[in-house]
């Protein structure tokens, strides 16, 4: 038989209050390639949640392609998630990018201004040419965007005839990977979470 509870009653299961709010946490993960940016996958592939062994209901804040690697945040803070993934907040993300080919300065200039991709024009980007390998015919660049549409950087370079070989996110907002190795993660410190929320609210700390 069911039991009715009155307002104000304390309900517990194995000593844990049902109405206890879960502590809000944020983790920074260095995602390896071939890992899904999701809490679960119906095809049984490894997900970012599988890599963060913590007792929280975590969800990735945004996405990072299956074949890309680098910085991704996970949290149980829904408000933070909405702000980080919404394009109106224009959160910059920086990637180390290797492309197949020796890109020209004028092509970089086109990409920085914005190029037509399918049914939209990419937002202005910041692109720095770091080096080129004449023997392998590859270019190493640092690309910073704030839109983050599906496979946007790959599609941007495709418009100029180049294929992205490697895409590795190293920075989001002011947060950087640091010395985290592939597959490693760390919990953001309280001051980092506070700074991130202030940044998204347009405040300076």
Active-site amino acid positions: 65
CA 100 vs. chain centroid, Å, equals 24
Q: For 70, list phi and psi in degrees, rounded to 5.
A: 115, -155
Q: If 0-12 CB within 10 Å is exposed, 13-18 middle and 19+ buried, where does residue 29 land?
A: buried
Q: Is 76 exposed, middle or buried (0-12, 13-18, 19+ CB in 10 A)?
A: middle
């Amino acid at each position: 038989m069911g039991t009715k509870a009155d307002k104000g009653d304390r309900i517990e299961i194995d000593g844990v209050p049902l109405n206890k709010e879960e502590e809000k946490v944020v983790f920074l993960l260095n995602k390896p390639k071939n890992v899904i940016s999701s809490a679960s996958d119906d095809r049984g592939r490894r997900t970012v949640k599988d890599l963060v062994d913590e007792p929280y209901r975590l969800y990735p804040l945004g996405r990072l392609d299956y074949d890309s690697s680098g910085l991704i945040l996970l949290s149980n803070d829904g408000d933070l998630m909405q702000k980080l993934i919404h394009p109106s907040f224009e959160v910059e993300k920086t990637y180390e990018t290797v492309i197949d080919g020796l890109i020209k300065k004028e092509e970089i200039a086109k990409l920085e201004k914005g190029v037509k991709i399918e049914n939209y024009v990419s937002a202005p980007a910041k692109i720095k040419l770091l080096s080129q390998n004449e023997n392998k015919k590859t270019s190493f660049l640092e690309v910073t965007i704030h839109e983050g549409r599906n496979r946007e950087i790959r599609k941007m370079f495709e418009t100029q005839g180049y294929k992205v070989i490697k895409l590795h996110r190293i920075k989001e907002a002011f947060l950087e990977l640091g010395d985290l190795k592939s597959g490693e993660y760390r919990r953001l410190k309280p001051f980092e979470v506070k700074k991130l929320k202030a940044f998204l609210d347009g405040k300076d700390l």
